[in-house]
Amino acid sequence: MSILQGRKFTWDKGVMLLLVVTAIVGSFVTPYFATSSNLSFVIQDIAEIMLIALPMTFLIIAGEIDLSVASALSLVSSTIGILFRHGWPFGWAIVVGLIVGALCGALNGFLVTILGLQSLAVTIGTLALFRGLCFVLLGNQPVNKLPTSWTNLGYNSIPHTFLPYSFILLVIFGALAWVLLHYTRLGRWTFAVGINVEAAKFSGIPVRRLKFALFTVTGLMSGIAGVVYTLRFASASPDSASGYELGVIAAVLFGGVSIAGGIGTLWGVLAAVLELGVIRSVLQLIDVSANALLIVSGALLLISVAVPRAIEILRNRRELITP
Amino acid sequence: MRALVDRVTAIREVPVFIALVLVVVVTGIANPQFLSASGAQDIFLGVAVVATLAVGQSVIIVMRHVDLSVGSTAGFAAYLIGNESARNHGLIYCLLVALALGLAVGAVNGLLVAYLKLPSLVVTLGSMYVVRGIFNQIAAGNTINDSQAPKFLGFVGRNSIAHIPDLFIFAAILAFIVSLIMHSARSARDLYAMGSNPPASALVGIPVARRTFFAFLASGAVSGIAGAVLLSRFHSADANSGLGLELNVIAACVVGGVAIAGGVGTPYGALIGALLLQSITLALGALGVSQFWQQAVNGTLLISAISLDRYLSSRIKPTTIMRVSS
């Protein structure tokens, strides 16, 4: 108990607690949940969302948003597909795809930081643009016959384990993002910009360069998620991952990151993405329809913002009555 | 002062309208088929649902908020109308059910945004999921077809007056009425004040919470009604109805001069914005450009509109402040 005393209960800890509870309840409710094949499936299932949620956490903490991530993912996938169809070696197609992803992010960064446009509006525009370019590249025909030596990476497990290969990416990038956000100057800058952009400017933080870099990295990570997606489904199609953007943002916000900027932890986001994946898995295993998941994720998102605010309002009221 | 405000607001819609006329005329010259009665009908009919929703959304964006739940609500409302009609309920009853759904969603959004002071983006993202989830649970793979939908809605969806589809006339009348209210009613003018400077509007005594609540209620009501438009436009509804519509609606508003930063724009501007996006989509087809380019062009247009707006406002703003203060 002494550990808990003196520590403020915050939302991200609540999400972690919820994750543990869900996992325990899940393994009691259905014997299939805590199996290695199911856990492997859960990790594969959340990989793309998690990879994009990492840089999105930085962006939202810095007071910006990127709605074009799913379209960028799809554009990278389409680029890889079209290059491969034209006879490029698959490895080089991936390299070009990742460059395209970074360029997508850089375009957002340019529009927001150099032209000074609102990221919410701009990225709705690039969402349509990138998705549109997917159709320009591929038309209506997905590229399906990808080399199995590559697609096996999206399908098989790491030898001698039950973990999918995407797990390696999650660990590396998760750890990197965690260290960057909470233990480096760049992370402190991100928070400072989100709390008060004017004050950040006056204290010498290169706000524009920082935001430009964050957008570019978000594009690049969407590209990496695009590669994972392409390998996992062994297909590059123009309508990949449509609607994922709101899923990513919902997960980040559910993880306790404030949409107003300046507040959030990486642990909260990681736990939130995992929690949503675990809930989905448990609901599927006990044969509850996918619709319930929509309702649950929406309700969790609403609760995650409403409950802390309600507590805050009640606390303030009490202080007003008894000063 | 009043004339100045009118002039500045008038400016915002003028370039959009000119762009619309240009697109229509240039495409019409290149391909006369585009200007034919059926070409015009395609534009007007295609835009009806998004235009209706954009009128409601403009009221929200003016307050510097956003309502992402409109697509789910409209789709659900369309399904409910068909479902109730299939159970032999009358048209009025069906429409009231749709309106009630819209008001309920709007009330929940409004309560959370106005009184708990939660960010509208998060709240309406959440309610978008919840409404879609409940909708899919109820619809469960069923499809409402033309024979189940109320006969009147089916008729309205096919009928035109002077080659203008009824559904577009409805959206235009709605835009006209809401624009009139936004232009003249004091409570609606408050929304512009709240959008341009939220803290200041509270300080001058505007009941910000109440205004916000009723604006979300109105947006919900419009979404419910848009369900009827959706059902009569497509003559069918299923669990995917209205999916992803919210971003098209916001795009229409932004292109139509309703700035996402709040404080400026009109419902009829949003309607013109929706028309512009739709006519460009169809113009590409008429000009023989592959249909696959449509979305990319729309995205580019949206980005250009925002950039242009930013450029123009950076030039206009200083003079406006000077004139107002003098």
Binary contact (A125, B302; C-beta < 8 A):
yes
Nearest by CB: A132 against B68, B131, B299 = B299
Q: Is residue A289 part of a domain?
A: yes
Taking an 8 Å cut-off on Cβ atoms, the answer to whether A132 and B298 are in contact is: yes
How far is the alpha carbon of B53 from chain A, nearest alpha carbon, in Å?
Answer: 17
- Residue B318 pLDDT level (bands cut at 50, 70, 90): very low
> Which pLDDT belongs to residue B34?
82
**Tell me: the pLDDT tens digits for A281-320?**
888 888 777 778 788 888 888 888 888 788 878 888 776 6
Which of B152, B160, B181 has the alpha carbon at shortest distance from B62? B181
Q: What was the pLDDT predicted at B5?
A: 58
According to the model, what pLDDT value does residue A293 have? 78
Structure tokens at A93: 């197609």
pLDDT at A200: 94
Residue partners of B132: CB distance under 8 A and separation at least 6: A294, A298, B72, B75, B76, B243
Phi/psi of residue A264, nearest 5 degrees = 150, 160
Q: Supply the pTM of this predicted model.
A: 0.85
Q: Which residue in the set B130, B244, B299 is minimally distant from A126, CB to CB? A: B299
Are B244 and A242 within 8 A, CB to CB?
Answer: yes
pLDDT tens digits, one per residue of A133-167: 999 999 888 988 888 888 888 888 888 888 889 99
At residue B79, the pLDDT reads: 94
- State whether B250 and A124 contact (CB < 8 Å): yes
Average pLDDT, chain A: 89
Give the residue-averaged pLDDT of A19-42.
Answer: 88
> Could A298 and B261 be called an inter-chain contact, meaning their C-beta atoms sit closer than 8 Å?
no
Residue-wise pLDDT for B149-204, tens only, equals 888 888 888 888 888 899 999 999 999 999 999 999 989 999 999 999 888 998 99
Per-residue pLDDT, B322: 40
Confidence of residue B321 (pLDDT cuts 50, 70, 90): very low
* Inter-chain CB proximity A260 and B119 less than 8 Å: yes
Is residue A120 in a domain?
A: yes
Chain B nearest-CA distance from A61, in A, is: 14
What chain B holds in terms of domains, given with CATH numbers, is 2-26+38-325 (1.10.3470)
- Cβ separation of A127 and B133 shorter than 8 Å? no
Residue B304 has pLDDT above 60, yes or no: yes
A7-11, A223-227, B35-39, B207-211: which range is least confident on average? A7-11
Cα–Cα distance for residue pair A309/A303, rounded to 1 Å: 10
Specify the amino acid at residue A46: I
- List the domain range (segments joined by +) for residue A221: 11-23+33-316
Q: Best mutation site among A295, A303, A307, A317 for testing chain B: the one with the most B CBs within 10 Å?
A: A295
What domain count does chain A have? 1
Lowest mean pLDDT among A185-189, A264-268, B27-31: B27-31
Of residues A250, A225, A267, the one with CA closest to residue A301: A250
The answer on pLDDT for B325 being more than 50 is: no
Q: Which residue has the higher pLDDT, B236 or A171?
A: A171
Is A136 inside any structural domain? yes
- Separation CA B49–CA B223 (nearest Å): 10
CB interface of B with A, residues 220-279, below 8 Å: 243-244, 247, 250-251, 254, 260-261
What is the residue-averaged pLDDT of chain B? Answer: 86
DSSP string, A222-238: HHHHHHHHHHHHT-B-T
How many angstroms separate the CA atoms of A257 and A265, rounded? 7
For residue A323, being part of any structural domain is answered with: no
Mean pLDDT of B43-59: 93
Report whether pLDDT(A7) > 80.
no
Q: How high is the ipTM of this complex?
A: 0.83
- Per-residue model confidence as pLDDT tens digits over B206-232: 999 999 999 999 999 999 999 999 999
CB contact under 8 A, A124 and B247: yes
Weakest-pLDDT range from A81-85, A196-200, B289-293? B289-293
First CA to last CA across chain A, in angstroms?
30
The tokens describing A184, both together, are: 């480096």
Position A321 scores a pLDDT of: 60
What is the per-residue pLDDT across B79-100, written as a single tens digit (0 to 9) for each?
Answer: 999 998 888 888 899 999 999 9
Instruction: Identify the pLDDT of residue B1.
Output: 63
Across residues A114-120, what is the average pLDDT? 89
The closest CB to that of A309, out of B118, B140, B303, belongs to B118
Nearest CB to A301 within list B117, B122, B254: B122
At B111 the pLDDT is: 94
CB-neighbour burial class of residue B69 (10 A; exposed 0-12, middle 13-18, buried 19+): buried
At A30, the pLDDT band (50, 70, 90 cuts) reads confident
On whether residue A172 sits in a domain, the answer given is yes
Question: Is residue B59 scored above 70 in pLDDT?
Answer: yes
Checking if the pLDDT of A229 tops 70, the result is yes
Would you place residue A273 in the very low, low, confident or very high pLDDT band (cuts 50, 70, 90)?
very high
Confidence of residue A3 (pLDDT cuts 50, 70, 90): very low
Query: pLDDT band at residue B63, thresholds of 50, 70 and 90?
Result: very high
Sign of CA dihedral A134, A136, A137, A142: positive
| Per-residue pLDDT tens over the stretch A172-185 | 999 999 999 999 99
- Asked if B276 and B23 count as a contact pair (C-beta separation under 8 A), the reply is yes
Q: Would residue A6 count as lying in a domain?
A: no
Best of A64, A138, A302, A307 to mutate (most B CBs within 10 Å, chain B): A302
* Alpha carbons B74 and B229: distance in angstroms, whole number: 9
- With beta carbons under 8 A apart, name residues in chain A contacting B66: 120
The answer to whether the Cβ–Cβ distance between A259 and B119 falls below 8 Å is yes
Q: Among A23-32, A185-194, B310-319, whose mean pLDDT is lowest? A: B310-319
Cβ(A85)–Cβ(A37) under 8 Å? no
Domain presence at residue A321: no
Here the tokens at position A79 are 């680029």
Establish if A3 belongs to a structural domain.
no
B303, A129: Cβ pair inside 8 Å?
Answer: yes
Give, as one character, the DSSP assignment of residue B113. Answer: I
CATH of the domain at A219: 1.10.3470
| pLDDT, greater one: B5 or A84 | A84
Across the interface, of A115, A129, A290, the residue whose CB is closest to B300 is A129
When CB atoms are compared, the residue of B125, B134, B294 closest to A301 is B125
Chain A residues whose beta carbon lies within 8 Å of the beta carbon of residue B119? 259-260, 305
